[in-house]
Amino acid sequence: MNKDLRPIIWNDSEKKLVLIDQRKLPNELVYFECKNYKDVCFAIKDMVVRGAPAIGVAAAYGMALAELNGEDMEKAYLELKKTRPTAVNLFWALEKIIAAKNSGKSLLDEAKLIHEEDIELCRKIGEIGEVLIDDFDTILTHCNAGALATSAYGTALSVIRFAHYNGKKINVLSDETRPRLQGAKLTCFELNYENIPVKAICDNTAGFMMSKGLVDKIIVGADRILSDYHVFNKIGTYSLAILAKYHNIPFYVAAPYSTFDFESKLEDIVIEERSESEVTHIDNVRIVAEGVSAYNFAFDCTPPELITGIITEKEIIYPNK
């Protein structure tokens, strides 16, 4: 992987967290500095940093900053916890930090460990999952489940990366992913950055391309996976899974075990609803008539019967076998 594309950097000498500002991509590669936990809260809420694993790592560093700055740890924990309600890695990372605090460990050391582990987990996902990719495959992906959504490599894009690294001739189709266009802005940027062939498509083009035999496999990431393998991911994932089932196209989810939620039930999960302005505006230009409101669900749920396999850092899980 190109080492220049590091979405999360801890600056040890200045004791600050440095993030690629994903709101500016693909036109500008600039960085956002977090000097306290409130900066991290803002970065997560405003999607400077996004993607379940990356949010978890950033939150861990947020708690470390709170400790380093002598801030109210309980307040920091509660504020970080409520930044994004659906991505389970956020809660997983915060619980690991609290456990470290209770055992007297340095929170910065624990945050660094979470960061390093995430890089290794994503690498393993790619190594395990790339066996599913055949030479000359065209792979459709949704949103951004790449290095920008993690500490490195990504989840879905790690599988694609390692297929490319191993010499397989592949092509990628990236859904634009309305309303925030993470596929068009981030996934296309990442893959192009590493010279992996990619084409952007409108979200509503996917079904047509499947019907014409132009899609061989679909790989997406996940923000939360329940013990019964219901998968919560970026809005639009469920629609793709239904289309894939109809057209008999393998539909894979790639995620580390830290994305699994073994405690919650389906009815317990809160689906984040974001500002309707993300739907009614593009780049601050209103595209919907004045007076018309919008729904803006950030995630949807894909049931296990629509999922071919879940690629983790340990194994490939087949929910229907």
Q: What is the per-residue pLDDT across 91-100, written as a single tens digit (0 to 9) for each?
A: 999 999 999 9
40 with 135, same domain: the answer is no
Compute the average pLDDT of residues 271-280.
96
pLDDT at 24 over 60: yes
In the block, which residue shows the tokens 């013990």?
Answer: 227
Catalytic status, residue 216:
no
The domain containing residue 189 runs over which residues? 128-317
217 with 153, same domain: the answer is yes
The CB density around residue 257, as the number of other CB atoms within 10 Å, is 13
pLDDT at 18 over 70: yes
> Which of 106, 122, 138 is at the close of a domain?
122
Tell me how far CA of residue 60 lies from CA of 54, 243, 246, in angstroms: 10, 37, 41
Tell me how far CA of residue 260 lies from CA of 28, 213, 228, 316, in angstroms: 34, 33, 10, 14
Whether residue 3 is contained in a domain is answered as no
Contact yes or no for 74/102 (Cβ under 8 A): no
Q: Which of 51, 9, 56 is nearest to 33 (CA)?
A: 9
CATH code of the domain in which 49 resides = 1.20.120.420
Contact yes or no for 55/49 (Cβ under 8 A): yes
Cβ contacts of 40-48, under 8 Å, gap ≥ 24: 40/65, 40/80, 41/79, 41/80, 41/83, 43/19, 44/80, 44/83, 44/84, 44/90, 45/83, 45/84, 47/22, 47/23, 47/180, 48/19, 48/21, 48/22, 48/23
234 with 290, same domain: the answer is yes
97 with 140, same domain: the answer is no
63 with 143, same domain: the answer is no
- Tell how strand 138-141 and strand 217-220 pair up: parallel
Structure letter (DSSP) for residue 154: B
Q: Residue 4: what pLDDT?
A: 58
Tell me, rounded to whole angstroms, the distance of Cα 188 from its chain centroid.
Answer: 14
Q: Residue 321: what pLDDT?
A: 84
pLDDT at 87 over 80: no
Q: Which residues contact 144 (CB under 8 A, 6 or more apart)?
A: 50, 51, 154, 157, 177, 182, 183, 186, 187, 190, 221
User: What is the rounded CA–CA span in Å between residue 75 and residue 294?
Assistant: 33
Count up the domains in the chain and report the number: 2
Q: Is 159 helix (H, G, I), strand (E, B) or coil?
A: helix
207 with 187, same domain: the answer is yes
Known binding residues are 50-52, 84, 182, 233-234
Q: Residue 252: what pLDDT?
A: 99
313 with 198, same domain: the answer is yes
State what percent of residues in the chain have pLDDT above 70.
Answer: 99
Known binding residues for substrate are 50-52, 84, 182, 233-234
Contact yes or no for 24/50 (Cβ under 8 A): no
143 with 227, same domain: the answer is yes
Which one of the listed residues 118, 137, 223, 261 is annotated catalytic? 223
> Which of 122, 157, 173 is at the close of a domain?
122
Q: Which residues contact 182 (CB under 8 A, 6 or more apart)?
A: 50, 143, 144, 234
Whether residue 111 is contained in a domain is answered as yes
34 with 173, same domain: the answer is no
> Which of 122, 154, 184 is at the close of a domain?
122
User: What is the rounded CA–CA span in Å between residue 125 and residue 159?
Assistant: 7
Q: Is 142 helix (H, G, I), strand (E, B) or coil?
A: coil
pLDDT per position as a tens digit, 150-209: 999 999 999 999 999 999 999 999 999 999 999 999 999 999 999 999 999 999 999 999
